[in-house]
A and B are shown apart, each in its own frame.
Chain A
Protein backbone atom coordinates (compact mmCIF):
# COMPACT_ATOMS: atom_id res chain seq x y z
CA UNK A 1 0.00 0.00 0.00
CA UNK A 2 1.47 3.32 -1.01
CA UNK A 3 2.45 5.61 1.82
CA UNK A 4 -0.03 8.40 1.03
CA UNK A 5 -2.84 5.95 0.52
CA UNK A 6 -2.00 4.22 3.78
CA UNK A 7 -1.94 7.49 5.68
CA UNK A 8 -5.29 8.49 4.24
CA UNK A 9 -6.88 5.12 5.03
CA UNK A 10 -5.48 5.13 8.55
CA UNK A 11 -6.74 8.64 9.29
CA UNK A 12 -10.29 7.57 8.43
CA UNK A 13 -10.34 5.84 11.82
CA UNK A 14 -9.12 8.84 13.77
CA UNK A 15 -12.44 9.58 15.50
CA UNK A 16 -12.97 5.97 16.57
CA UNK A 17 -9.42 5.71 17.88
CA UNK A 18 -9.71 8.96 19.77
CA UNK A 19 -12.99 7.85 21.34
CA UNK A 20 -11.35 4.61 22.44
CA UNK A 21 -8.35 6.54 23.78
CA UNK A 22 -10.63 8.84 25.76
CA UNK A 23 -12.31 5.91 27.49
CA UNK A 24 -8.91 4.36 28.24
CA UNK A 25 -7.19 7.46 29.57
CA UNK A 26 -10.20 9.62 30.57
CA UNK A 27 -8.02 12.62 29.93
CA UNK A 28 -8.04 14.67 26.66
CA UNK A 29 -4.31 15.59 26.60
CA UNK A 30 -3.36 11.99 27.30
CA UNK A 31 -5.81 10.80 24.65
CA UNK A 32 -4.18 13.21 22.20
CA UNK A 33 -0.74 11.84 22.99
CA UNK A 34 -1.90 8.25 22.84
CA UNK A 35 -3.57 8.66 19.46
CA UNK A 36 -0.65 10.58 18.04
CA UNK A 37 1.80 7.95 19.24
CA UNK A 38 -0.44 5.27 17.76
CA UNK A 39 -0.37 6.87 14.34
CA UNK A 40 3.36 7.49 14.44
CA UNK A 41 3.92 3.83 15.19
CA UNK A 42 1.45 2.77 12.53
CA UNK A 43 3.15 4.92 9.90
CA UNK A 44 6.61 3.82 10.97
CA UNK A 45 5.68 0.15 10.80
CA UNK A 46 3.22 0.36 7.93
CA UNK A 47 5.30 -2.21 6.03
CA UNK A 48 4.21 -4.77 8.60
CA UNK A 49 0.55 -4.25 7.83
CA UNK A 50 -0.79 -6.91 5.51
CA UNK A 51 -3.10 -5.41 2.87
CA UNK A 52 -6.45 -7.10 2.87
CA UNK A 53 -6.59 -7.52 6.64
CA UNK A 54 -8.49 -5.15 8.88
CA UNK A 55 -6.63 -1.88 9.14
CA UNK A 56 -9.10 -0.72 11.76
CA UNK A 57 -8.36 -3.67 14.04
CA UNK A 58 -4.62 -3.28 13.47
CA UNK A 59 -4.77 0.38 14.54
CA UNK A 60 -6.82 -0.43 17.64
CA UNK A 61 -4.33 -3.12 18.54
CA UNK A 62 -1.45 -0.63 18.29
CA UNK A 63 -3.35 1.88 20.39
CA UNK A 64 -4.12 -0.60 23.13
CA UNK A 65 -0.58 -1.98 23.19
CA UNK A 66 0.78 1.56 23.39
CA UNK A 67 -1.59 2.32 26.22
CA UNK A 68 -0.58 -0.79 28.12
CA UNK A 69 3.11 -0.18 27.51
CA UNK A 70 3.26 3.43 28.57
CA UNK A 71 0.24 4.27 30.68
CA UNK A 72 0.00 1.11 32.69
CA UNK A 73 3.74 1.18 33.26
CA UNK A 74 3.46 4.75 34.44
CA UNK A 75 0.68 3.82 36.86
CA UNK A 76 2.84 1.05 38.28
CA UNK A 77 5.84 3.31 38.60
CA UNK A 78 3.83 5.95 40.42
CA UNK A 79 2.45 3.27 42.77
CA UNK A 80 5.95 2.10 43.54
CA UNK A 81 7.12 5.61 44.15
CA UNK A 82 4.34 6.31 46.56
CA UNK A 83 4.54 3.36 48.91
CA UNK A 84 7.61 1.48 47.78
CA UNK A 85 5.68 -1.79 47.54
CA UNK A 86 5.84 -3.69 44.24
CA UNK A 87 2.45 -4.25 42.68
CA UNK A 88 3.31 -7.60 41.10
CA UNK A 89 0.59 -9.26 43.17
CA UNK A 90 -2.11 -6.82 42.09
CA UNK A 91 -5.15 -8.63 40.73
CA UNK A 92 -5.35 -8.70 36.98
CA UNK A 93 -8.88 -7.40 36.87
CA UNK A 94 -8.46 -4.62 39.37
CA UNK A 95 -10.91 -1.73 39.32
CA UNK A 96 -9.87 1.42 37.50
CA UNK A 97 -8.26 4.01 39.76
CA UNK A 98 -10.09 7.13 40.76
CA UNK A 99 -10.23 9.77 38.11
CA UNK A 100 -7.52 12.38 38.04
CA UNK A 101 -8.24 16.08 38.31
CA UNK A 102 -7.82 16.58 34.55
CA UNK A 103 -10.33 13.90 33.66
CA UNK A 104 -13.52 14.82 31.88
CA UNK A 105 -16.67 14.36 33.89
CA UNK A 106 -18.93 11.42 33.15
CA UNK A 107 -22.29 12.57 31.81
CA UNK A 108 -24.33 9.51 32.50
CA UNK A 109 -24.42 6.63 34.96
CA UNK A 110 -23.61 4.34 32.08
CA UNK A 111 -20.43 6.24 31.31
CA UNK A 112 -19.53 6.45 34.96
CA UNK A 113 -20.03 2.73 35.38
CA UNK A 114 -18.02 1.93 32.29
CA UNK A 115 -15.15 4.01 33.57
CA UNK A 116 -15.13 2.08 36.80
CA UNK A 117 -14.61 -1.21 35.01
CA UNK A 118 -11.15 -2.73 34.89
CA UNK A 119 -9.36 -1.91 31.64
CA UNK A 120 -9.68 -5.47 30.32
CA UNK A 121 -13.47 -5.39 30.74
CA UNK A 122 -13.85 -1.81 29.56
CA UNK A 123 -11.83 -2.50 26.43
CA UNK A 124 -13.72 -5.59 25.43
CA UNK A 125 -17.05 -3.77 25.75
CA UNK A 126 -15.81 -0.74 23.84
CA UNK A 127 -14.50 -2.87 20.99
CA UNK A 128 -17.25 -5.41 20.72
CA UNK A 129 -20.32 -3.37 21.65
CA UNK A 130 -19.51 0.29 21.04
CA UNK A 131 -17.32 -0.16 17.95
CA UNK A 132 -19.24 -3.23 16.80
CA UNK A 133 -16.15 -5.24 15.95
CA UNK A 134 -16.29 -8.93 15.15
CA UNK A 135 -15.22 -11.19 17.98
CA UNK A 136 -12.32 -12.45 15.87
CA UNK A 137 -10.98 -8.92 15.50
CA UNK A 138 -11.43 -8.24 19.20
CA UNK A 139 -9.58 -11.46 19.96
CA UNK A 140 -6.72 -10.36 17.70
CA UNK A 141 -6.52 -6.98 19.39
CA UNK A 142 -6.53 -8.47 22.86
CA UNK A 143 -4.23 -11.31 21.78
CA UNK A 144 -6.48 -13.95 23.28
CA UNK A 145 -8.82 -16.69 22.03
CA UNK A 146 -12.35 -15.82 20.91
CA UNK A 147 -13.70 -17.86 23.81
CA UNK A 148 -11.87 -15.62 26.22
CA UNK A 149 -13.39 -12.59 24.53
CA UNK A 150 -16.89 -14.01 24.96
CA UNK A 151 -16.20 -14.79 28.59
CA UNK A 152 -14.86 -11.28 29.23
CA UNK A 153 -17.86 -9.68 27.56
CA UNK A 154 -20.19 -11.70 29.75
CA UNK A 155 -18.32 -10.84 32.93
CA UNK A 156 -17.93 -7.20 31.91
CA UNK A 157 -21.65 -6.80 31.42
CA UNK A 158 -22.31 -8.45 34.70
CA UNK A 159 -19.97 -5.99 36.46
CA UNK A 160 -21.52 -3.13 34.56
CA UNK A 161 -25.03 -4.12 35.59
CA UNK A 162 -23.91 -4.31 39.19
CA UNK A 163 -22.46 -0.81 39.08
CA UNK A 164 -25.60 0.55 37.39
CA UNK A 165 -27.71 -1.03 40.12
CA UNK A 166 -25.59 0.67 42.72
CA UNK A 167 -26.05 4.05 41.06
CA UNK A 168 -29.81 3.53 40.96
CA UNK A 169 -29.85 2.90 44.69
CA UNK A 170 -27.83 6.05 45.45
Chain B
Protein backbone atom coordinates (compact mmCIF):
# COMPACT_ATOMS: atom_id res chain seq x y z
CA UNK B 1 0.00 0.00 0.00
CA UNK B 2 1.05 3.56 0.37
CA UNK B 3 3.84 4.64 2.63
CA UNK B 4 1.51 6.62 4.79
CA UNK B 5 -0.68 3.60 5.42
CA UNK B 6 2.33 1.59 6.47
CA UNK B 7 3.61 4.40 8.60
CA UNK B 8 0.20 4.65 10.18
CA UNK B 9 0.39 1.11 11.51
CA UNK B 10 3.66 1.74 13.31
CA UNK B 11 2.29 4.36 15.60
CA UNK B 12 1.26 2.06 18.46
CA UNK B 13 4.14 1.54 20.93
CA UNK B 14 5.49 -1.94 21.14
CA UNK B 15 4.82 -2.76 24.77
CA UNK B 16 1.73 -3.49 26.75
CA UNK B 17 -0.62 -1.61 24.47
CA UNK B 18 -3.54 -3.71 23.35
CA UNK B 19 -3.45 -4.81 19.77
CA UNK B 20 -5.30 -3.21 16.98
CA UNK B 21 -7.31 -0.47 18.55
CA UNK B 22 -8.06 0.88 15.11
CA UNK B 23 -11.76 0.28 14.89
CA UNK B 24 -14.31 -0.09 17.62
CA UNK B 25 -16.05 -3.35 17.11
CA UNK B 26 -18.59 -5.09 19.31
CA UNK B 27 -16.68 -8.34 19.00
CA UNK B 28 -13.90 -6.90 21.10
CA UNK B 29 -16.19 -7.23 24.09
CA UNK B 30 -16.57 -10.96 23.60
CA UNK B 31 -13.33 -12.02 25.21
CA UNK B 32 -13.52 -9.87 28.34
CA UNK B 33 -17.15 -10.84 28.78
CA UNK B 34 -16.22 -14.46 28.42
CA UNK B 35 -13.47 -14.12 31.01
CA UNK B 36 -15.87 -12.54 33.46
CA UNK B 37 -18.42 -15.31 32.89
CA UNK B 38 -15.73 -17.92 33.38
CA UNK B 39 -14.71 -16.36 36.66
CA UNK B 40 -18.33 -16.32 37.76
CA UNK B 41 -18.61 -19.99 36.92
CA UNK B 42 -15.48 -20.72 38.91
CA UNK B 43 -16.74 -18.84 41.90
CA UNK B 44 -20.28 -20.26 41.93
CA UNK B 45 -19.74 -23.02 44.51
CA UNK B 46 -17.77 -20.55 46.58
CA UNK B 47 -20.70 -18.18 46.58
CA UNK B 48 -22.89 -21.05 47.72
CA UNK B 49 -20.38 -21.82 50.43
CA UNK B 50 -20.43 -18.23 51.62
CA UNK B 51 -24.20 -18.14 51.56
CA UNK B 52 -24.53 -21.32 53.56
CA UNK B 53 -22.22 -19.89 56.19
CA UNK B 54 -25.28 -17.90 57.19
CA UNK B 55 -27.64 -20.87 57.15
CA UNK B 56 -29.82 -20.93 60.21
CA UNK B 57 -30.00 -24.68 60.54
CA UNK B 58 -31.79 -26.26 63.47
CA UNK B 59 -29.06 -28.76 64.25
CA UNK B 60 -25.29 -28.68 63.95
CA UNK B 61 -24.74 -30.11 60.51
CA UNK B 62 -25.17 -28.41 57.19
CA UNK B 63 -28.20 -29.33 55.13
CA UNK B 64 -28.97 -28.63 51.50
CA UNK B 65 -31.94 -26.61 52.58
CA UNK B 66 -31.49 -22.97 53.40
CA UNK B 67 -33.42 -22.13 56.52
CA UNK B 68 -32.72 -18.45 57.00
CA UNK B 69 -30.01 -16.05 57.91
CA UNK B 70 -27.98 -16.09 61.08
CA UNK B 71 -24.66 -14.82 62.25
CA UNK B 72 -24.32 -17.58 64.84
CA UNK B 73 -21.62 -19.40 62.96
CA UNK B 74 -19.57 -16.27 62.62
CA UNK B 75 -19.88 -15.69 66.31
CA UNK B 76 -18.67 -19.17 67.09
CA UNK B 77 -16.13 -19.67 64.36
CA UNK B 78 -13.09 -19.75 66.60
CA UNK B 79 -14.73 -21.89 69.21
CA UNK B 80 -13.27 -25.16 68.09
CA UNK B 81 -9.55 -24.94 68.70
CA UNK B 82 -8.86 -28.01 66.61
CA UNK B 83 -10.42 -26.42 63.54
CA UNK B 84 -8.57 -23.13 63.85
CA UNK B 85 -5.36 -25.01 64.47
CA UNK B 86 -5.99 -27.10 61.38
CA UNK B 87 -6.49 -23.99 59.26
CA UNK B 88 -3.35 -22.45 60.65
CA UNK B 89 -1.38 -25.60 59.91
CA UNK B 90 -2.64 -25.70 56.35
CA UNK B 91 -1.79 -22.09 55.61
CA UNK B 92 1.68 -22.24 57.10
CA UNK B 93 2.51 -25.49 55.35
CA UNK B 94 1.23 -24.14 52.05
CA UNK B 95 3.32 -20.99 52.29
CA UNK B 96 6.50 -22.81 53.18
CA UNK B 97 5.93 -25.60 50.68
CA UNK B 98 5.30 -23.12 47.88
CA UNK B 99 8.32 -21.08 48.88
CA UNK B 100 10.61 -24.10 48.73
CA UNK B 101 9.04 -25.89 45.78
CA UNK B 102 9.19 -22.82 43.54
CA UNK B 103 12.95 -22.37 43.33
CA UNK B 104 13.44 -26.13 43.11
CA UNK B 105 10.92 -26.43 40.32
CA UNK B 106 12.11 -23.31 38.55
CA UNK B 107 15.67 -24.52 38.25
CA UNK B 108 14.38 -27.83 37.02
CA UNK B 109 12.13 -26.19 34.47
CA UNK B 110 14.94 -23.97 33.31
CA UNK B 111 17.23 -26.90 32.84
CA UNK B 112 14.64 -28.81 30.85
CA UNK B 113 13.52 -25.90 28.76
CA UNK B 114 16.78 -24.32 27.79
CA UNK B 115 19.54 -26.80 27.92
CA UNK B 116 20.38 -29.97 26.19
CA UNK B 117 22.10 -32.55 28.29
CA UNK B 118 22.43 -36.22 28.58
CA UNK B 119 19.64 -37.73 30.61
CA UNK B 120 17.20 -35.00 29.66
CA UNK B 121 14.66 -37.55 28.54
CA UNK B 122 15.03 -39.43 31.79
CA UNK B 123 14.39 -36.32 33.83
CA UNK B 124 11.29 -35.55 31.79
CA UNK B 125 10.25 -39.11 32.38
CA UNK B 126 10.52 -38.70 36.14
CA UNK B 127 8.53 -35.49 36.06
CA UNK B 128 5.75 -37.08 34.04
CA UNK B 129 5.71 -39.97 36.48
CA UNK B 130 5.45 -37.59 39.41
CA UNK B 131 2.39 -35.99 37.87
CA UNK B 132 0.87 -39.35 36.96
CA UNK B 133 1.26 -41.21 40.22
CA UNK B 134 -2.00 -41.95 42.07
CA UNK B 135 -1.98 -40.17 45.38
CA UNK B 136 -3.11 -42.97 47.58
CA UNK B 137 -0.26 -45.26 46.70
CA UNK B 138 2.30 -42.46 46.72
CA UNK B 139 1.03 -41.39 50.12
CA UNK B 140 1.25 -44.87 51.49
CA UNK B 141 4.73 -45.40 50.04
CA UNK B 142 5.93 -42.11 51.48
CA UNK B 143 4.55 -43.19 54.82
CA UNK B 144 6.40 -46.47 54.58
CA UNK B 145 9.55 -44.61 53.74
CA UNK B 146 9.21 -42.24 56.66
CA UNK B 147 8.39 -45.11 58.97
CA UNK B 148 11.46 -47.04 57.90
CA UNK B 149 13.55 -43.95 58.39
CA UNK B 150 11.91 -43.56 61.81
CA UNK B 151 11.03 -40.00 61.02
CA UNK B 152 8.44 -38.50 63.38
CA UNK B 153 5.25 -37.96 61.45
CA UNK B 154 3.80 -34.51 61.47
CA UNK B 155 4.55 -31.03 60.26
CA UNK B 156 7.91 -31.83 58.72
CA UNK B 157 6.86 -34.96 56.90
CA UNK B 158 3.82 -33.20 55.48
CA UNK B 159 6.06 -30.39 54.28
CA UNK B 160 8.54 -32.75 52.66
CA UNK B 161 5.75 -34.54 50.85
CA UNK B 162 4.03 -31.37 49.68
CA UNK B 163 7.23 -29.97 48.25
CA UNK B 164 7.83 -33.25 46.48
CA UNK B 165 4.55 -33.28 44.61
CA UNK B 166 4.58 -29.55 43.86
CA UNK B 167 8.02 -29.41 42.26
CA UNK B 168 6.98 -31.19 39.02
CA UNK B 169 4.02 -28.85 38.54
CA UNK B 170 6.23 -25.82 38.96
CA UNK B 171 8.83 -27.30 36.64
CA UNK B 172 6.35 -27.94 33.86
CA UNK B 173 4.89 -24.44 34.16
CA UNK B 174 8.27 -22.73 34.09
CA UNK B 175 9.40 -24.91 31.23
CA UNK B 176 6.39 -23.83 29.20
CA UNK B 177 7.55 -20.30 29.71
CA UNK B 178 11.17 -20.91 28.92
CA UNK B 179 10.85 -23.08 25.87
CA UNK B 180 11.80 -21.39 22.69
CA UNK B 181 13.34 -18.50 24.49
CA UNK B 182 15.88 -16.67 22.49
CA UNK B 183 19.26 -17.04 24.07
CA UNK B 184 20.79 -14.39 21.90
CA UNK B 185 19.61 -11.84 24.40
CA UNK B 186 21.68 -13.32 27.16
CA UNK B 187 24.59 -13.73 24.81
CA UNK B 188 24.26 -10.11 23.84
CA UNK B 189 24.34 -9.11 27.47
CA UNK B 190 27.45 -11.16 27.98
CA UNK B 191 29.03 -9.61 24.93
CA UNK B 192 28.45 -6.38 26.74
CA UNK B 193 30.63 -7.68 29.56
CA UNK B 194 27.91 -8.87 31.89
CA UNK B 195 28.78 -11.99 33.85
CA UNK B 196 26.58 -15.01 33.16
CA UNK B 197 24.85 -14.52 36.49
CA UNK B 198 24.07 -10.88 35.86
CA UNK B 199 22.97 -11.73 32.35
CA UNK B 200 20.60 -14.29 33.75
CA UNK B 201 19.28 -12.02 36.44
CA UNK B 202 18.73 -8.98 34.31
CA UNK B 203 17.65 -10.58 31.08
CA UNK B 204 16.28 -14.08 31.49
CA UNK B 205 14.77 -13.84 34.93
CA UNK B 206 12.32 -11.03 34.22
CA UNK B 207 11.12 -12.88 31.18
CA UNK B 208 10.42 -16.11 33.01
CA UNK B 209 9.10 -14.38 36.12
CA UNK B 210 5.43 -14.84 35.17
CA UNK B 211 6.07 -18.53 34.82
CA UNK B 212 7.69 -18.61 38.23
CA UNK B 213 4.80 -16.73 39.78
CA UNK B 214 2.32 -19.05 38.12
CA UNK B 215 4.24 -22.01 39.47
CA UNK B 216 4.26 -20.48 42.93
CA UNK B 217 0.51 -20.03 42.88
CA UNK B 218 0.00 -23.58 41.68
CA UNK B 219 2.25 -24.97 44.39
CA UNK B 220 0.43 -22.97 47.04
CA UNK B 221 -2.98 -24.18 45.95
CA UNK B 222 -1.82 -27.77 45.57
CA UNK B 223 -0.49 -27.79 49.09
CA UNK B 224 -3.46 -26.04 50.65
CA UNK B 225 -5.83 -28.46 49.02
CA UNK B 226 -4.10 -31.78 49.43
CA UNK B 227 -5.88 -34.48 51.36
CA UNK B 228 -4.81 -37.98 50.47
CA UNK B 229 -1.05 -37.75 50.78
CA UNK B 230 -1.30 -35.46 53.78
CA UNK B 231 -3.61 -37.87 55.53
CA UNK B 232 -1.04 -40.62 55.33
CA UNK B 233 2.02 -38.73 56.50
CA UNK B 234 0.45 -36.35 58.98
CA UNK B 235 0.69 -38.49 62.09
CA UNK B 236 -1.50 -36.73 64.62
CA UNK B 237 -1.43 -33.32 63.00
CA UNK B 238 -4.57 -32.07 61.29
CA UNK B 239 -4.79 -29.84 58.28
CA UNK B 240 -7.90 -28.12 57.03
CA UNK B 241 -8.72 -30.66 54.29
CA UNK B 242 -8.30 -33.51 56.75
CA UNK B 243 -10.56 -31.80 59.25
CA UNK B 244 -13.16 -31.07 56.60
CA UNK B 245 -13.05 -34.54 55.12
CA UNK B 246 -13.60 -36.04 58.51
CA UNK B 247 -16.56 -33.83 59.10
CA UNK B 248 -18.31 -34.88 55.91
CA UNK B 249 -19.25 -38.19 57.46
CA UNK B 250 -22.41 -36.72 58.84
CA UNK B 251 -22.46 -33.40 57.07
CA UNK B 252 -20.26 -30.34 57.18
CA UNK B 253 -20.63 -28.07 60.16
CA UNK B 254 -21.34 -24.51 59.07
CA UNK B 255 -18.17 -23.34 60.78
CA UNK B 256 -16.37 -24.98 57.89
CA UNK B 257 -18.25 -22.68 55.53
CA UNK B 258 -17.28 -19.74 57.67
CA UNK B 259 -13.61 -20.60 57.72
CA UNK B 260 -13.68 -21.36 54.02
CA UNK B 261 -15.18 -17.95 53.50
CA UNK B 262 -12.42 -16.38 55.53
CA UNK B 263 -9.76 -18.16 53.50
CA UNK B 264 -11.39 -17.00 50.33
CA UNK B 265 -11.75 -13.43 51.53
CA UNK B 266 -8.11 -13.43 52.60
CA UNK B 267 -7.25 -14.46 49.06
CA UNK B 268 -9.38 -11.69 47.60
CA UNK B 269 -7.69 -9.15 49.82
CA UNK B 270 -4.33 -10.45 48.71
CA UNK B 271 -5.37 -10.15 45.07
CA UNK B 272 -6.50 -6.59 45.57
CA UNK B 273 -3.26 -5.73 47.31
CA UNK B 274 -1.20 -7.05 44.42
CA UNK B 275 -3.40 -5.10 42.03
CA UNK B 276 -2.89 -1.91 43.94
CA UNK B 277 0.84 -2.45 44.24
CA UNK B 278 1.15 -3.00 40.53
CA UNK B 279 -0.50 0.30 39.85
CA UNK B 280 2.55 2.01 41.23
CA UNK B 281 4.72 0.39 38.61
CA UNK B 282 3.06 2.25 35.85
CA UNK B 283 1.98 0.63 32.64
CA UNK B 284 5.34 -0.79 31.85
CA UNK B 285 4.98 -3.93 33.77
CA UNK B 286 7.89 -6.11 32.81
CA UNK B 287 10.16 -5.89 29.82
CA UNK B 288 9.19 -7.61 26.63
CA UNK B 289 11.60 -9.25 24.30
CA UNK B 290 13.12 -6.66 22.11
CA UNK B 291 12.23 -6.89 18.47
CA UNK B 292 14.62 -8.96 16.45
CA UNK B 293 17.31 -7.50 14.37
A binds B: no
B residues bordering A, Cβ < 8 Å? none
Residues in A lying within 8 Å of B, measured CB to CB: none
